[in-house]
Amino acid sequence: MLGAAVLAFTAGCAGESQDSSAPSTGDGTFLVTVQSGPADSTGTVTVGARPTKIVSLSPTATETLWAVGAGDQVVAVDDKSDYPAGVPTTDLSGYAPNVEAIIGKAPDLVIAADDPGGLVSGLKAAGVPTLLLPAAANLDEAYGQIERVGSATGHGSEATTLTASMRTQIAAAVASVPPQPKARTYFHELDDTLYTVTDKTFLGEIYGLFGLRSIAAGGGSGGDYPQLSAEYVVSADPDLIFLADGQCCGVTPDTVAARPGWSGLAAVRDKQIHVLDADLASRWGPRVVDLVRGIAAAAQTVPAAQPTPAG
């Protein structure tokens, strides 16, 4: 099974543009136009009044709305949104959206990660603005999306403060791990069929902050999210293994160590199998700080890498 974590990070391009306008002040009116779609898209959405009935069809967007202070403006979130506690979860789906059901919530703004089944055109016909925030390809895109949500909901300054804080906290987490003389390798397990990530992905960038390199380069098939064979993982002998499939598939450090041929891996021998929160590892919102801190903590426990002998 290709886990939801794979689907969550298969979109996004480099670069993030700024909002083209900001909420007006003085007479109490609100008119804002923000970029909608991938970071390199020219698409925009205009919100003509401060939204008070927002529907979120993306768990990442849901977390972001609450983080920037727009939670009390949200009337419904999709069936995968589960954070923070108490969000108005419904049976709405972001993967197979029912436009009629969404319109039934009388939204004045819908935020989604993708546009399946003519979602945007269907909502546009009903006069509902839709802000698309696809999976971020890097941290800069994640920051930019948070600021888009802030602008679209009337919380621009809060969003800017939030992203500044995130940058500071992530920098501190990175600084807490001493640099290594030699790059260490990792295997990030998305699901129990050995799908993983390369260094070119959102997660790959985060691991790269700590000098970690994916074993997936040149192995398997599937682009930036290849499926590896067990034999390939064994031959690559990663220094660390990160499991993002504990919740979906019941994978544990013990079950990994018990796989045929895996008991001799460096990560098994050195007890460097780390279980990640699957939600943190598949979303690109404000809690990415917690993911970075978790990886920092793991990186600090790895035996120091030895430099490659000269000659």
Domains 20-169 and 178-299 share a fold: yes
At 165, give phi and psi (nearest 5°). -65, -40
What is the pTM assigned to this prediction? 0.88
Beta strand extents in 40-103 (DSSP E only): 44-47, 54-56, 74-77
> For the domain 20-169, what is the CATH code?
3.40.50.1980
For the chain, domain boundaries: 20-169, 178-299
> For the domain 178-299, what is the CATH code?
3.40.50.1980
What's the pLDDT score for residue 13? 32
Residues 264, 256 contacting (CB under 8 angstroms): no
What's the pLDDT score for residue 18? 39
Each residue's pLDDT tens digit, 217-274: 766 667 899 999 999 999 999 999 999 999 899 999 999 999 999 999 999 999 999 9
